Structure 1
Amino acid sequence: MPLRILVVARWYPSHEVPGRGSFVADQVEALARAGAGVAVICPEPAYAEGLDGPHRAARLARIGRWAAVIGARLAFATPAGRGAPGAPVLRIPAPLPAGGDATRDPLTLADLEAAALVPVGVALHAAWPFDVIHAHTGLPDGLAAGALADALGVPLLTTEHDSSTPCRLKDPAMAAAYRGLMRPGRAVVAVSRALAGKIAERLGPDAGRIPVVPNVLPVDTFRIHPDADRDPNELLWVGTRKESKGSDTLLRAFALLHGERPAVRLRLIGRASSEADEARLVAFAGALGIADAVRFEPPTDRAGVAEAMARAALFIHPSPWETFGIVAAEALAMGLPVVATPSGGVEEIVGHDGQFGAIARDHDPASLAEAVAAALDRRSAFEPAALRASVAGRFAPGVVAADLLARFRALGAVAAGDGADLPTGDAVQLPVVVIVGFRRASAIARIPALPAGLAAGVAVVTSAPIHPLTGQPSGDPTPPLGVLDWTDVDVGRVFRARLAALGEAPPRNRGGWRSLRHPLRAFRRRRLWAAQGDLFAEERRRAVGQALARVRTSATPGPAAAPGPVMLLPLDADDLETIEPILADGDIVLAPGTLGWLVDRWESQPR
């Protein structure tokens, strides 16, 4: 009987970031092909104020009630073209403090994530008894998954990918929590010896050796292409364009190389962290005198990457540190030699013996340029079949899946279910959806990423680009186009009108004197300020109610093919405060998932 595996990973491909966590999806697909039953829960950030103050308990209780709705429905989806094919995924809220140091504290994030993960996971286990939990990254997903493992008494394996983990483990509290992932019935594996060594060093000798289970290489996607199809002067890099990934070093190294070999060209596929960073790198290439020899191209899918690798002469990997470096393995699988800086995981993939490329002697541009030049000089000596074999034997899906399954069983995982698949309900049509997101910046940033067909059938309610207290313009005034209904709510409208009726607020340095002269007015003003939050909340609920009325009477259908209840979907955890009182209407339901869930379900529907 096959094992049932619950994968917990916030790094998983989504409609907003399709490439994020592709290595997790690769392992999910490999395990499914090996016969295991696999379901994925993906925690998605949901911002909330007051998670570290006196209102923490009330806010977490709201998250718990949302999680109860999600657990009651278990509306998994199998979106086509993203993530592991056919693998059911459910995106749940992971409360995230809306600012402050707690945002960066993995222990806090783990506790907040567990507030939704545990009730949803317990409900899932009752419907589909999984035998083991596989978390990706220890901080915070592994720790949150540990709370679920404790609640159910099931084994937990955590695969560590995160390059920041060794640094975080300098904190004694984080190191102590991380050691909890290694107690009986649990284990941690790392994707490379380099990462495993750094973690073990931080945890001390009592932690023992950290085993290595690498990422999966989809060998069927990356196949050998004949050298005759390659451009002998084209160098290729695929990845995020930022200084911490070695982009500046690469451009400097290429400038040195181009000065000696004017025919060489550099092709960069990926994106910078921002438009400003992209402009800086393009300008930097111009300042180095290589603008005409460098092509900055946007990200592409794996088929596009494979096509680029099929024509390049060398793949260049300039990153100073990588926990694994899957693109280097993909290049070798296509018979493309790799030149890299000393970077941990990539060194393990390429090796130092020169058979499969070259590792620069240092991280500086001159060392990288020297290694690239040497590899170009002996380009014809590389044997494509040997390059491919070097990675296929270590990272092929079947190899990695067999290793993982053996480790699950070693932890005590025993197949106990009936072997039935988890029902996804993909064929169930979505009702009309109203997205409630009063953090305007989130709405403006995230709604345009919705598929056009979905956006045309949803309504959005958000804050107006007006400061609620002053009435002055604030925020992006331009709403995205293409949605069924868009409502900008001036939440401070009533408050400002009532404040104006009481007269202009006195200057602080004369407030005491004026309070003595007008005690009743001062009392009313103080009472109004005390009621400010309630007035704002009332305006939000009123606007959502009006949006509900409009979509119910609209001639334009929503995502649903037939009329039915209206679904309210909170964009952030804060928005639950507005939504919950409205749910008393029996014709209104709370979405059993996040915005990412909505897209997954819409893409899973037959149309």
Structure 2
Amino acid sequence: MRILLISSYHPLPTNPARGTFISDRVELLRSLGHEVKVVNPLPRMMKRNEMGRSTLSGVAKAPRYSHPVGDESREVFHPRYFRLPKPSLSIGITNNSLRRLKSKVIQWLGDWRPDVISCHSVWPVAHLAAELSKQFNVKWSLTIHGYDFDVGIKSPQTKSIISLCSSADQLVIVTKSHEGLAKDMGLKSDPIVIPCHAEVGSEWEQSMRKPHRRWRRSKLEILFPADPRRPEKRHLLAVRACAELEERGWVVNFGTLKQVPRELVWDRMVSCDLALITSERETGPLVARESILCGLPVAGVDVGDLASWLPARCISTSDTPSAIADAMERVLEGEVDDFTVPKYYLPEQVGLQLEKLFTLLQE
């Protein structure tokens, strides 16, 4: 099957950590035998505007075309659209700018024609997906990864988001927590849940490690598996929780992950003692599943779907440094035999769900 994937996020040459969940999805689809082409529209912006959000890093100077892992056959197209630094001031202009990208994408595709279109994230790139769906007379799915429902739905872009969600032939959500909100939008069909799959390189995948050191007399390596510049990750809360551990006699070495390639992320996961998650909003988080696959125990706040599959002792009773420190101690001093990633999140199961989705869209 020929699939055209359109997404707001995708790794860039100077920011390999950006949107890795999208490149993972692309590789999963290709492993299933599908022919996938990727379009990653980027806003026109100046270098200084990248400072507003870490996910914008590398956007200003990104090339028109990129080639993951140096493979010319896997070219990613990065067309540019207009958007002001404050998107709320240019909603209409941005929407029209995305629609006008249709001709550029068609030119890039040449004689290649998709059987289905898969769009990831809503505003503004879903406007392009909707236009191309009409042009090629094919159905399209729209996948919500969190931001559009957690933040965007409360922004000036609300009307555009609801309109695009209701116009898609199939809405896909990655967490059941968004199911209620999606059903209130007057959709063409009920939303389906397909999570982002969890997978790490075979060199890094290992069984859970039980600490054998004398914790309060040797250094404890705590990993904050996120970019500390992103406010929703609540880096300061994690720092305060680690400070609370130190007050209790632990020796803590606290490390973060700031815009690094996946291989370095997994290197850190296999070398640390505990992953700490303090995010304010998440749909996964995916890093929790990757940590467990790398043999790294996880502790954190009740966010996303963590509480549905992690052992109860891993989840703090409140979002306070003291409660988070309690959760970390419970994990460090307990067993690790019950840490496992449900099959629901593994490539085989997610792949089956994707096959059903695209078969449905072709009917």
- Do these two structures clear the TM 0.5 threshold for a shared fold by scoring above it? yes
In the other structure, the counterpart of 1:147 is 131
Question: Does residue 1:322 correspond to 2:282, yes or no?
Answer: yes
Structure 1 Cα separation of the partners of residues 2 and 174 of structure 2: 22
Deviation at 1:153, TM superposition (A): 1.4
1:406 is matched by which residue type in structure 2?
K
C-alpha displacement of 1:323: 1.8
- Relative distance call for 1:76 and 1:409 in structure 2 (3 A) is farther
1:412 alignment partner in structure 2: 362
User: Does structure 1 conserve the Cα–Cα contact (< 8 Å) formed by 2:3 and 2:115?
Assistant: yes
Question: Secondary structure of 1:40's partner?
Answer: strand
The alpha-carbon distance between structure 1 residues 46 and 230, as it changes in their structure 2 partners (threshold 3 A), is farther
8 Å contact kept, 1:11–1:42: yes
* Structure 1 residue 140, shift from structure 2 partner: 1.4
What does the per-residue CA deviation read over 1:341-377, in whole Å, with 9 as the maximum and x for residues that have no partner? 01124334x43x43xx611111121211111112122
In structure 2, do the counterparts of structure 1 residues 220 and 247 end up closer, same or farther at CA, with 3 Å as the change threshold?
Answer: same
Candidates 221, 224, 240, aligned match of 2:227: 240
Q: Which runs of 5+ in 1 are unaligned?
A: 49-74, 272-298, 414-607
- Corresponding residue to 1:308 among 248, 258, 268: 268
Conservation of the 8 A alpha-carbon contact between 2:208 and 2:292: no
Pick from 326, 330, 335 the counterpart of residue 295 of structure 2.
335
* Counterpart amino acid of residue 34 in structure 2: A
Q: Which one has the largest radius of gyration?
A: 1
2:232/2:279 contact within 8 Å kept: yes
Shift of 1:257: 1.4
Question: Kindly tell me: are residues 43 and 22 of structure 1, through their superposed partners in 2, closer, same or farther at Cα, counting changes over 3 Å?
Answer: same
Give the Cα–Cα distance (whole angstroms) in 2 for the partners of residues 334 and 362 of structure 1: 27
Q: CA deviation at 1:313?
A: 2.2
The CA distance in 1 between the partners of 2:305 and 2:277, in whole Å, is 11
- 2:318 counterpart (362, 366, 373): 362
**In structure 2, what is the Cα distance between the partners aligned to 1:269 and 1:301?**
13
What is the SS of the residue equivalent to 1:236? strand
Which of 334, 342, 349 matches 1:399?
349
Partner SS for 1:267: strand
Q: In the superposition, relative to structure 1, how do residues 215 and 152 fare at CA in structure 2: closer, same or farther (>3 Å)?
A: same
Matched AA of 2:98: E
* 2:172–2:193 contact (8 Å) kept in structure 1: yes
1:124 CA displacement: 5.1
Correspondent of 1:260 among 241, 244, 248: 248
How many corresponding residue pairs?
339
Q: Tell me how far 1:99 sits from its aligned partner.
A: 6.0
Matched, 1:270 2:257: yes
Identical columns (%): 21
Amino acid at match of 1:373: E
Question: Is residue 339–residue 359 contact of structure 1 (8 Å, CA) maintained in 2?
Answer: yes
User: How far 1:229 sits from its partner (Å)?
Assistant: 8.2
**Residue 7 of structure 1 aligns to a residue in which SS?**
strand
What do the CA deviations read for 1:111-139 (whole angstroms, capped 9, x no partner)?
A: 211211x1133345651111011111011
Matched, 1:131 2:119: no
DSSP 3-state at the match of 1:401: helix
**Structure 2: runs of 5+ lacking an equivalent:** 47-63
Give the Cα–Cα distance (whole angstroms) in 2 for the partners of residues 164 and 6 of structure 1. 21
Residue matched to 2:14: 16
* TM-score normalized with structure 2 length: 0.82
CA distance in structure 2 between the aligned counterparts of 1:17 and 1:310, rounded to whole angstroms: 22
Shift of the alpha carbon at 1:28? 0.2
Deviations 1:22-71 (A, max 9, x none): 100000000001000000011122259xxxxxxxxxxxxxxxxxxxxxxx
Cα distance per residue 1:514-540 (max 9 Å; x no partner): xxxxxxxxxxxxxxxxxxxxxxxxxxx
* CA deviation after TM superposition for structure 1 residue 301, in Å: 2.2
Higher helix share: 1
Shift of the alpha carbon at 1:192? 1.3
- 1:373 alignment counterpart: 329
How far apart, in 1, do the equivalents of 2:222 and 2:85 lie?
42
Question: Partner of 1:212 in structure 2?
Answer: 193
- Offset of 1:322 from its aligned partner? 0.6
Residues 377-526 of structure 1 aligned to structure 2 (within 5 Å): 377-378=333-334, 381-383=335-337, 387-388=339-340, 390-391=341-342, 393-412=343-362
Q: Which residue of 2 aligns with 1:200?
A: 182
Deviations 1:435-464 (A, max 9, x none): xxxxxxxxxxxxxxxxxxxxxxxxxxxxxx
Q: Which amino acid aligns with 1:12?
A: H
The answer on whether the counterparts of 1:39 and 1:89 sit within 8 Å (CA) in structure 2 is yes
Q: CA deviation at 1:87?
A: 2.8
CA 172–234 in structure 1, closer or farther in 2 if over 3 Å, else same = closer
Aligned twin of 2:69: 80
Q: In the alignment, is the contact (CA less than 8 A) between 2:221 and 2:272 conserved in 1? A: yes
Alignment-mate amino acid for residue 100 of structure 2 = A
CA distance in 2 between counterparts of 1:138 and 1:363 reads: 30
- Determine helix, strand or coil for the equivalent of 2:103: helix
Mapped partners of 1:177, 1:18: distance in 2: 28
Match of 1:163 in 2: 147
For residues 252 and 164 of structure 1, do their structure 2 counterparts lie closer, same or farther at Cα, with a shift above 3 Å needed? Answer: farther
Q: Deviations over 1:174-226 (max 9, x none)?
A: 3465344344x7111111122444x327x357777532111122243441157
Deviation of residue 100 (structure 1)?
A: 7.0
Q: Matched residues in 2 for 1:125 and 1:15: separation?
A: 22
- Aligned counterpart, 2:32: 34
The CA distance in 1 between the partners of 2:138 and 2:79, in whole Å, is 21
TM-score by length of 1: 0.51
1:538-549 aligned within 5 A: none
